[in-house]
Amino acid sequence: MQKRANAVTFKGNPLTLVGPQLKPGDSAPDFACVTSGLEIMGLSKTPHKARMFSVVPSLDTPVCHDQTVKFNRAVDALKDKAACYTISLDMPFAQKRFCGAENISNMQTLSDVHNQSFGKAYGVLIEGLPIPLLSRAVFILDKNGKITYCEYVPEVASHPNYDKALDALKTAAG
């Protein structure tokens, strides 16, 4: 498995990411995440329309909270033109609780706790921490499963570029 040393920082400390650095034009890799209903969901089970994968370390931290809430509000205007997901290594039960408490209805949560396949395939699994976490990133896919936009946020504790991600999602949604 490919490892990218010093790919991101967390509070200034360099970290290694496991997996490839994807780029626009790449085919989106498959994965096996767990839904809040404890079902395995992969790329092929997502709708064939524009998709956003908003990747966060943990929903129980301020930036991850804000990222999920902000994207949830922003994608409301797209209605059924896009499928939007928040992916973390949080347990599905914690993700479900978070969504209920924060009235998250436009973002489906997927837990990568099953086998960390999303983290490894999309190059966002952080190596070297006391617990496994995913690095902050955003991936936009078109209806054919091609990546049209991706951002690996260089400092894990920082926000992604919301405007660029949302513009890319709107473009992919047509």
Measured N-to-C along each axis, helices 162-173 and 62-74 cross at an angle, to the nearest 10 degrees, of 30
Strand partners, 83: 51
Catalytic one among 64, 84, 99, 150? 64
Candidates 38, 41, 70; CA nearest to 54 is: 70
Residue 103 class from Cβ within 10 Å (0-12 exposed, 13-18 middle, 19+ buried)?
exposed
Residue 98 class from Cβ within 10 Å (0-12 exposed, 13-18 middle, 19+ buried)?
buried
Whether 139 and 150 have beta carbons less than 8 Å apart is answered as yes
64 is catalytic: yes
Whether 112 and 137 have beta carbons less than 8 Å apart is answered as no
Which residues are designated catalytic?
64
